[in-house]
Amino acid sequence: MGRVGVLLLNLGGPEQIEDVRPFLYNLFSDPEIIRLPFSWMQKPLAWLISSLRHKKSQANYMEIGGGSPLRGITEEQAIALHKSLQDKGQDVQVYIGMRYWHPFTEEAIARIKRDGVEQLVILPLYPQFSISTSGSSFRLLEQIWTDNPSLAPQEHTVIPSWYQRPGYLQAMAQLIARELDGFENPDQVHIFFSAHGVPVSYVEEAGDPYQHEIEECTRLIVQTLNRPNRHTLAYQSRVGPVEWLKPYTEDAITELAAEGINDLLVVPISFVSEHIETLQEIDMEYREIAEEAGIENFHRVPALNTHPVFIEDLANLVVEAIDAPPLTLDQVMRPQKNFKMYPQERWEWGMTTAAEVWNGRLAMLGFMGLLIELISGHGPLHFIGLL
């Protein structure tokens, strides 16, 4: 066996305020995040969204110190994983590849090539698979190696998801139990699992296993925890006019408050590191919703970060992957068809193909008109005060 490397994949995040706008542009330029009927619309739409959203996003990042801690935490996870692998007698170099900010996946691949890695384990830091998270990074890797085959390692194996791992489940259960025991009546606390959402079309049209894996992961954590507490699963962080997985986190919190729930413990089930969606969205926005609805005791389980049981399990996972037959990128799940995420229900007034064509044309005209107005600073939206 030649030199072995592990590539940890993650989202990435802006490290300082001036990074927010280009980070958002990178995010929304990804067709796995927002799918459009024509590829040429992707970058103009990404520019539009990043232009409209960056000030609000900057304000959110200011609330957590001015930038995302994700890179620093991921680097700590890489160091801890490297040490755990060394303790198991494995001489494995660990690399970090972020999808939308530094260190980019492309940078990691260049370092992997420079270091002469011959066997690469690709390990996303997402417990559950989705085409919009792990899948997007997998597609990017395929594209990098297609464009420059000399960058590809001689052998690679992919770990698509690992939500059912015993060490991961045990680490999550330990964190939840510790927080529960801090309440006055631990058995009366309602456990609230909040997962990052995805559009319904990803699941129903593309066959994304994400919803199934999230639901199964929730069941396994509750089983491992072995406590009598009631629990709820909901989805956060939806963007745009399309339908996302339900129930939405904010709606579910309000409904629980109406039922008389007073003690709520939120578990960020699809995140293994602290970042904007735990530190700001859950800790601030959802806390405010809960308290306004009448929930007096709102607590959150911390992200796993470098929890020793979690890191140990990741190391075991890597060792198992090294010894097992490889699972290559072309064997990993991908969308079953070229589905559309754009809000087709807003444009369809009939069931015919012609209706969809004309509705799409009208939407494109409106989109281009909005771009022109944003650039020129003149138009009906400016006149009525919307821009």
Residue-wise pLDDT for 9-57, tens only, equals: 999 999 999 999 999 999 989 888 777 777 788 889 889 989 999 999 9
d(CA 139, CA 37): 19
- Helix, strand, coil % over all residues of the chain, rounded to 5: 50, 15, 35
Closest CA to 95 of 10, 16, 210: 10
- In 10 A of CB 182, how many CB atoms? 11
- In 10 A of CB 20, how many CB atoms? 27
- The answer to the question of whether 212 is labelled as a binding residue is no
Per-residue pLDDT tens listing for the chain (387 residues)? 579 999 999 999 999 999 999 999 999 898 887 777 777 888 898 899 899 999 999 999 999 999 999 999 999 999 999 999 999 999 999 999 999 999 999 999 999 999 999 999 999 999 999 999 999 999 999 999 999 998 888 899 999 999 999 999 999 999 999 999 999 999 999 999 999 999 999 999 999 999 999 999 999 999 999 999 999 999 998 877 789 999 999 999 999 999 999 999 999 999 999 999 999 999 999 999 999 999 999 999 999 999 999 999 999 999 999 999 999 999 987 766 555 544 443 333 333 333 333 344 444 445 555 555 554 455 544 444 444
Helix (H) or strand (E) holding 97: strand 92-98
Domains of the chain (ranges, CATH numbers)? 4-163+307-334 (3.40.50.1400), 166-300 (3.40.50.1400)
Give the global pTM.
Answer: 0.87
- The answer to the question of whether 63 is labelled as a binding residue is no
